[in-house]
Amino acid sequence: MKRKIIVALSVFTLVFLLAGVDIARRIDAATTDLNHLITLHQVEILREQYLLHLKQVELDFLLRSTQGSRNLDVVIADVDALGKRVDSCFACHHSAAVTEQLNALNAQTELYKGALQRSMARAPGLASVDDPAFPIGEKLIGQVRDIVDVTTVSLERQTRRTAEAIRHAQRVLYALLAVGPVLAALLGYLCISGLTRQLRVLLASTRKLKGGDLDHRVARLSDEFQELAEAFNDMAGSLKEHMLRTQRTEQMVVVGQLAAGLAHEIKNPLGGIKAAMQVLADEAELSKEDRDLVGGVSREVARLESLMKNFLNFAKPGKPQLTELDVNALIDMILAFHVKTHGGASSGAAPVTITRDLQPVPELRADPMQLQQVLLNLVLNAVDAMPEGGTLSVRTSATGSAIQIEISDTGRGISPEHVEKIFLPFFTTKPKGTGLGLAICKQLVEQHGGAISVAPNPAGGSIFRVQLPSPAPTPVAA
Break the chain into its structural domains and give their ranges.
Answer: 2-187, 224-313, 318-469
The region that residue 175 occupies, defined by phi over 0 for left and psi between -120 and 50 for alpha, beta otherwise, is alpha
Q: Under a CB-based contact definition with an 8 Å cutoff, are residues 75 and 124 in contact?
A: no
| Residue range 422-465, pLDDT digits in tens | 887 777 777 666 677 888 888 889 888 899 999 988 888 899 99
Give the rounded percent of residues in the chain with a pLDDT score beyond 90.
7
Query: Do the domains spanning 2-187 and 224-313 agree at the CATH topology level?
Result: no
Output the CA–CA distances (angstroms, integers) from residue 366 to 327, 361, 474, in the order listed.
Answer: 9, 14, 10
| pLDDT value of residue 438 | 85
pLDDT of 473 higher than 50: no
Among residues 457, 447, 147, 434, the alpha carbon closest in space to that of 312 is found at: 434
| pLDDT value of residue 80 | 61
pTM over 0.75: no
- Give residue 81's pLDDT band: very low, low, confident or very high (50, 70, 90): low
Q: Which fold has domain 224-313?
A: Helix Hairpins (1.10.287)
Q: Compute the Cα dihedral for 178, 179, 182, 188 and give only its sign.
A: negative
Q: Say which DSSP state 318 is in.
A: P
Q: Which residue has the higher pLDDT, 459 or 410?
A: 410
- Give residue 156's pLDDT band: very low, low, confident or very high (50, 70, 90): confident
CA distance linking residue 15 with residue 187, whole number of Å: 13
Mean residue pLDDT across the chain: 76
Long-range pairs of 236-240 with CB within 8 A, sequence gap ≥ 24? 236/209, 239/209, 239/214, 240/214, 240/215
The region that residue 66 occupies, defined by phi over 0 for left and psi between -120 and 50 for alpha, beta otherwise, is beta
Q: Using CB atoms within 10 A of its CB, is residue 220 exposed (0-12), middle (13-18) or buried (19+)?
A: exposed
| pLDDT value of residue 77 | 65
CA distance linking residue 160 with residue 167, whole number of Å: 10
Looking at residue 119, its amino acid is S
Radius of gyration of the chain (CA): 57
Among residues 401, 371, 364, 408, the alpha carbon closest in space to that of 386 is found at: 408
Q: Which residues contact 373 (CB under 8 A, 6 or more apart)?
A: 440, 441, 444
The region that residue 343 occupies, defined by phi over 0 for left and psi between -120 and 50 for alpha, beta otherwise, is left
Sheet holding 451-456, edge to edge: 352-358, 390-399, 402-408, 462-469, 451-456
Average pLDDT score over residue span 56-67: 65
Looking at residue 340, its amino acid is K
Average pLDDT score over residue span 185-189: 78
Q: Which residue has the higher pLDDT, 160 or 140?
A: 160
CATH class of 318-469: alpha beta
Architecture of domain 2-187: Up-down Bundle (1.20)
CA distance linking residue 64 with residue 61, whole number of Å: 5
Q: Which residues contact 412 (CB under 8 A, 6 or more apart)?
A: 385, 461
